[in-house]
Amino acid sequence: MDSSLEATCFRIPEQVLNSSGQRMPRLGFGMAPYPLVPPQVTKRAILQAIELGYKHFDTAPLYGTEKPLGEATQEAISLRLIKSRDELFITSKLWCSDAHRELVLPALHRSLRNLKLEYLDLYLILWPLSLKPGRNEFTIREEDVLSMDFGSVWAAMEDCRRLGHTKSIGVCNFSTKKLADPLSFAEIPPDVNQVELNPLWNQKKLREFCKSNGILLIGYSPLGASGTMWGSNRVLGCDVLKEIAKAKGKTVPQTKVEVDYYSKNRCLRWAFEQCISILVKSFNAERMKQNLEIFNWSLSDEELRRINYLPKSRGCDGQLFISKLGPFKTIEELWEGEI
């Protein structure tokens, strides 16, 4: 391993999941690279992350990172970076083409084989809709988008937990209303809702709903996902956030690199202070270390006030699932007005 890497001298704070009682690290390592990178690059980044102190890893079959994560976990044990797999919190997800009752358990079994694991810590439904079986790619045809029979799919998710294949279950990209529906009938309520969250899309209504119902929010794209097909530079390019960054500390940062560093860490700290878990995504070792430097300080009341008054707009709008032939014919329908 890289001898220049040093493990963090503190533990990443944890959150107890309400339904399962499991402890989840509140800072996770996102593993949806864009563009895709070779498996060896992914594996090396995971090992570096473990050495630095990351414990929570978020993957999915569609990301192409389950196998490298499984290989990295085994190598981390052999290198004595961790004593056992139990020290890690590993999440994977159910893709839409497998969001049919009879396909949920086989899909989870495939993920476990890819990961070389006996169980997941968290298994999530990736989107609140289904696709025709076999469509295992992001290129989606209008005729393939289907309504999800959420009652039967969620029952299958509950079976996955009862069988011990995953310790916790949850959802991703669910609006307040879509999340309210399963709460009325679920025997095992969702522990988690993973959604886009950053200073320019703060999900205030959804945060309040989840808090009142014992559901933990996990925020992805906390920096706006610049460089991806769904993201932009609107968060890190925000003038208010740059001004806050320049006011940091006893000396004013003079270079763009310094401003970018303080902007990013203030975005991450803001998300952390909203009592949620956040996913960070960088395969750069130095940036991995910087993403951990958000726990021993706080934003001022004035900084929070300025961030909270920023204009809000969604970045990841789910446009690829909008279909004249499917359940959601407009973005407004998909998010039920939360846009």
- pLDDT digits over 257-313, tens only? 777 788 888 899 999 998 789 999 999 999 999 999 999 888 999 999 999 999 998
Stretch among 31-35, 84-88, 116-120, 205-209 having the lowest mean pLDDT = 31-35
Q: What proportion of the chain, given as a percentage, has pLDDT over 90?
A: 75
Q: What average pLDDT does range 169-192 have in this prediction?
A: 95
Q: What pLDDT score does 245 carry?
A: 82
Q: What pLDDT score does 3 carry?
A: 45
DSSP character at residue 221: -
Q: What average pLDDT does range 116-137 have in this prediction?
A: 94
Extract the tokens encoding 11: 């533990």
Model confidence at 45, pLDDT cuts 50, 70, 90, reads very high
CA distance 25 to 256: 31
Residue type at 104?
V
Q: Say how many Å lie between the first and final Cα of the chain, rounded.
A: 44
- Cα 74-80-86 angle, rounded to 5 deg: 60
Stretch among 32-46, 138-152, 259-273 having the lowest mean pLDDT = 259-273
b/e for 47-75, b at 16 or more Cβ within 10 A?
bbbbbbbbbbbbbbbbbbbbbbbbbbbeb
Name which residue leads in pLDDT, 213 or 250: 213
* Spatial contact of 54 and 12, defined as CB atoms under 8 Å apart: yes
Each residue's pLDDT tens digit, 131-140 = 999 877 778 9
Name which residue leads in pLDDT, 3 or 66: 66
Q: What average pLDDT does range 194-201 have in this prediction?
A: 94
Q: What average pLDDT does range 169-179 have in this prediction?
A: 97
Q: What pLDDT score does 254 carry?
A: 45
Q: What average pLDDT does range 125-144 have in this prediction?
A: 90
DSSP string, 273-289: HTT-EEEE----HHHHH
Q: Is the pLDDT of residue 237 over 70?
A: yes
Q: What proportion of the chain, given as a percentage, has pLDDT over 70?
A: 94
Catalytic site residue 63? yes
CA distance 176 to 306: 26
Name which residue leads in pLDDT, 25 or 248: 25
- Could you give the count of Cα atoms lying within 13 Å of 169 in the half-sphere of its Cβ? 25
Q: What pLDDT score does 65 carry?
A: 97
Name which residue leads in pLDDT, 99 or 36: 99
Name which residue leads in pLDDT, 262 or 220: 220
Q: What average pLDDT does range 83-111 have in this prediction?
A: 98
Q: What average pLDDT does range 320-329 have in this prediction?
A: 95
The 3-class SS string of 39-85 reads: HHHHHHHHHHHHHHCCCEEECCHHHCCHHHHHHHHHHHHHCCCCCCH
CA-based diameter of the chain, in Å? 60
Given the residues 54, 63, 123, 261, select the one marked as catalytic.
63
Most confident of 246-250, 252-256, 262-266: 262-266
Q: What pLDDT score does 339 carry?
A: 77
CA distance 267 to 279: 12
Q: What average pLDDT does range 200-222 have in this prediction?
A: 94
Q: Is 270 exposed, middle or buried (0-12, 13-18, 19+ CB in 10 A)?
A: buried
pTM attached to this predicted model: 0.94
* Spatial contact of 217 and 206, defined as CB atoms under 8 Å apart: yes
Q: What pLDDT score does 2 carry?
A: 56
Model confidence at 9, pLDDT cuts 50, 70, 90, reads low
Q: Is the pLDDT of residue 160 over 90?
A: yes
Q: Is the pLDDT of residue 250 over 50?
A: no
